[in-house]
Amino acid sequence: MPSITKAPDKPTLLGERVRIARHALGLSQSQLAGAELTKGFISQIESGLVRPSVRSLQIIANRLGKPFDYFIGDDPAVSRKRLAFHRLAAEAAMTRQDWPALRSEIEAALRESPDKRERCRLVGMLSAADLGEGDREMTFTRIAEALSGLDLDADAADIAQLLYRKGRAYAQLEQLVAATDAYEASRAMVEKYEINDTRLRSRLLVALGTMYRRLNRTAKAMATYEAALAQASRASEQEMAARSYMGVAATLYDAGEYDSAISNYRRALALWQHLADSDFELNAMQSLAGVHFEQGDLVAAREMATRCLSRAESLGDRRWAAVARVELARGELAAGHIQEALSLADPAERVLAELDDPQQQASALRILGAAHEAAGDHGAADRAYLASIELLTGIDHFASRSVTSAEYAQHLRARGEIDKAFSMLELARGAAARH
């Protein structure tokens, strides 16, 4: 009786594997091709006449319900294909900000022993996960390693992205000058090498405009935000257009041009509502309430803060509901309604403390300090103001600390506590200088 040779568990050729997996699912070549590929292309793959690209093979693998490695496990170019596959998967994970998936794909890619340049590109992608997870020290380390092995001409787009990311890390640390330098270097790369990445260009301009505004370089901030708005309009990027309007509005607000600030905040609000981005929608509402308040229009401020509160409560957003209550408390205090202000600001401050939002909590404490001062409870006012200043110091928010310290100094001086008032004025002046 002739011997029977056992068929291998796994055929050795990629085309054979595609054909066997397709037959196992009962699919025709047309069904496997779908809308993305063609029947003729599938036929050529199965006949061994063509080698699919990584993207095409990924489509085929997903449609056949097989892991990518099933098709290329014994292929002569296995390492190169695996590396390309994991890089593509890492890029997709980075786009959706799935940091665990990004790390997993990069680790898998690094196991394929990439050359120095490719390794540096992969390490640079890891810096996105580090920054997204708040590890700024590792972000700087990865960026430095990545930049050390990239080629200025061949990898200009990667270098521009890394410099932008470096700027974001500095900005989170409130190192505004260093952040500005990094953003400007990134922008120079984008312009010099004509990098056609509209998403990067828009975000870079908005970030740079924000740095200029925070450094009180108002004219440059306005020009940069307007450039961001033009870029976003050309690329039909409504989100970046909305962010640009927010930046223009904030710059106009800083300059005391309240009517123009309100117009731009309203444009931003309309876009955020169209984009169904509730967080920024509420941000724009709260900003509008604040500008109306500074303008002296308490009725409009109260109306917008009430809208913000109602919208936040309908969304179940406790943070923005608390922020809106603080804005309403501010209006009540300005109208001389001290107890109403306290009843709004006190529970809002507790919610913001629970949610670990020190900046907004500090704002609530400042309102509480002013309300307690107006009520004649100096002890409670002292505690609230000092707690607000401590929070702002902890997050290096020097501009707000300067304003709060100066306001507290005025109350201390009115009480006749001159030495304490002088100390607060010194703190305010130092914070303003540092900002």
Which CATH number fits the domain that encloses residue 160?
1.25.40.10
DSSP state of 9: S
With the CA atoms of 198, 199, 204 and 209 taken in that order, what torsion angle do they form, in degrees rounded to the nearest 10?
Answer: 90
- For the stretch 117-159, pLDDT in tens is 999 999 999 999 999 999 999 999 999 999 999 998 889 999 9
**How many Å apart are CA 58 and CA 85, to the nearest integer?**
8
Comparing CA positions, the residue from 347, 306, 327 lying closest to residue 314 is: 306
Does the model's pTM come out above 0.75?
no
**How many Å apart are CA 397 and CA 327, to the nearest integer?**
19
70 lies in the same domain as 106: no
Can you give the CATH number for the domain in which 12 is found? Answer: 1.10.260.40
114 lies in the same domain as 59: no
Predicted pLDDT of residue 292:
93
90 lies in the same domain as 60: no
Question: What is the residue type of 7?
Answer: A
Comparing CA positions, the residue from 85, 148, 149 lying closest to residue 118 is: 149
59 lies in the same domain as 118: no
Predicted pLDDT of residue 111:
84
Comparing CA positions, the residue from 345, 296, 298, 294 lying closest to residue 323 is: 345
| pLDDT-flagged residues of the chain (< 50) | 1-12, 76, 431-435
21 lies in the same domain as 108: no
Of 196, 214, 249, which marks where a domain is finished?
Answer: 196
**How many Å apart are CA 390 and CA 408, to the nearest integer?**
13
Q: Considering the domain boundaries, does residue 96 fall inside one?
A: yes
Question: What is the residue type of 227?
Answer: A
Q: Considering the domain boundaries, does residue 232 fall inside one?
A: no
Q: Considering the domain boundaries, does residue 21 fall inside one?
A: yes
173 lies in the same domain as 99: yes
Of 154, 176, 196, which marks where a domain is finished?
Answer: 196
25 lies in the same domain as 114: no
87 lies in the same domain as 65: no
Q: Considering the domain boundaries, does residue 23 fall inside one?
A: yes
88 lies in the same domain as 40: no
**How many Å apart are CA 128 and CA 136, to the nearest integer?**
10
25 lies in the same domain as 119: no
188 lies in the same domain as 90: yes
Q: Considering the domain boundaries, does residue 212 fall inside one?
A: no
Domains: count for the chain = 2
102 lies in the same domain as 142: yes
Structural domain boundaries, residue 37: 8-76
**How many Å apart are CA 23 and CA 16, to the nearest integer?**
11
Of 180, 196, 212, which marks where a domain is finished?
Answer: 196
**How many Å apart are CA 44 and CA 37, to the nearest integer?**
12
Q: Considering the domain boundaries, does residue 287 fall inside one?
A: no
Predicted pLDDT of residue 72:
67
Q: Considering the domain boundaries, does residue 176 fall inside one?
A: yes
| Contacts of 35 by beta carbon, 8 Å cutoff, 6+ apart | none
Predicted pLDDT of residue 73:
59
Centre a 10 Å sphere on the Cβ of residue 67 and count the other Cβ atoms it contains: 11
**How many Å apart are CA 410 and CA 151, to the nearest integer?**
57
Predicted pLDDT of residue 79:
67
Predicted pLDDT of residue 114:
87
Q: Considering the domain boundaries, does residue 294 fall inside one?
A: no
